[in-house]
């Protein structure tokens, strides 16, 4: 087991690394299906790479409508999980782009919609702030790894987390140009049927003023399902 791709300075295991690629070691990749009221409405395709100086998280989101709405993002983090850069682009139905960068000890975002002039917004947020953007659900897995690295340990291949262990993180949503305090809590293990098989999964709960998410991860720390509490919205690994 290698250290967490996005918090490699912390002593915690993550999925075993795969073959080397030009960006580094691929530690997770695949796609999530986004479902609302039982219907698939979108797909996120993602990859997470561990590199010498940190990690790179790439994602592409597209809807099921024709032609599809299409967005992409790339998040680069330092070895201890601080933000190095975050870029997102909207290809359709409109053209837009945004970049979030460190400005000394804090963060600055620059963005442009279509042919508009560039906008700029500073945030009095530390570089350790967690990015939780719209449409890019893999970022919640990265946050879960950060939490598990701090709250849990592994003994003989078994993850051990204190029940009801809780932590708080500052988060930023670049699409909405907003920040929020998020609490994350370990709720134990839960059995559920996914893809026709019963799985025994770790369960986490993420809460902000905007709502509550629940995440289920396997013992390789890969998210298998996410759900918005109180809504019929699910994000399942394909």
Look at residue 149 and give its three-state secondary structure: helix
Q: What is the C-alpha separation between 173 and 25, in angstroms, rounded?
A: 27
Average pLDDT over residues 49-78: 96
Domain layout of the chain by residue ranges: 2-237
Give 195-225 as a DSSP string. TTEEEEEEEEEEEETTEEEEEEE-TT--EEE
Name the pTM for this structure: 0.89
Average pLDDT over residues 19-26: 66
When mean pLDDT is compared across 105-109, 138-142, 157-161, the lowest value belongs to: 157-161
Beta bridge partners of residue 207, listed in sequence order:
183, 212
For 190-231, the pLDDT digits (tens) are 999 998 999 999 999 999 998 999 999 998 999 999 999 999
Q: What is the C-alpha separation between 53 and 215, in angstroms, rounded?
A: 28
For 156-182, the pLDDT digits (tens) are 767 677 888 889 999 999 999 999 999
Say whether pLDDT at 22 is over 60: no
Say whether pLDDT at 2 is over 60: no
């Amino acid at each position: 087991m290698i250290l967490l791709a996005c918090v490699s300075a912390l002593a915690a295991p993550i999925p075993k690394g795969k073959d080397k690629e030009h960006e580094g070691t691929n530690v997770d990749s695949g796609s999530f299906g986004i479902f609302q009221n039982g219907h698939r409405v979108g797909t996120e395709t993602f990859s997470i790479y561990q590199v010498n100086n940190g990690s790179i998280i790439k994602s592409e989101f597209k809807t099921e409508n024709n032609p599809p709405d299409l967005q992409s993002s790339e998040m680069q983090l330092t070895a201890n999980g601080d933000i190095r850069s975050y870029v997102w682009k909207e290809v359709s139905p409109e053209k837009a782009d945004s970049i979030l960068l460190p400005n000394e000890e804090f963060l600055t975002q620059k963005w442009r919609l279509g042919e508009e002039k560039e906008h700029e917004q500073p945030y009095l947020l530390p570089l350790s702030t967690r990015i939780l953007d719209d449409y890019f659900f893999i970022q919640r897995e990265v946050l879960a790894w950060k939490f598990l690295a701090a709250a849990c340990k592994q003994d003989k291949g078994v993850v051990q987390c204190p029940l009801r262990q809780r932590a708080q993180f500052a988060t930023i949503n670049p699409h909405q140009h907003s920040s929020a305090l998020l609490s994350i809590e370990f709720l134990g293990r839960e059995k559920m049927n996914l893809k026709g098989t019963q799985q025994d999964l770790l369960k986490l709960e993420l809460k902000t003023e905007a709502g509550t998410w629940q995440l289920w991860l396997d013992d390789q720390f890969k998210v298998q399902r996410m759900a918005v509490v109180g809504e019929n919205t699910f994000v399942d690994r394909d």
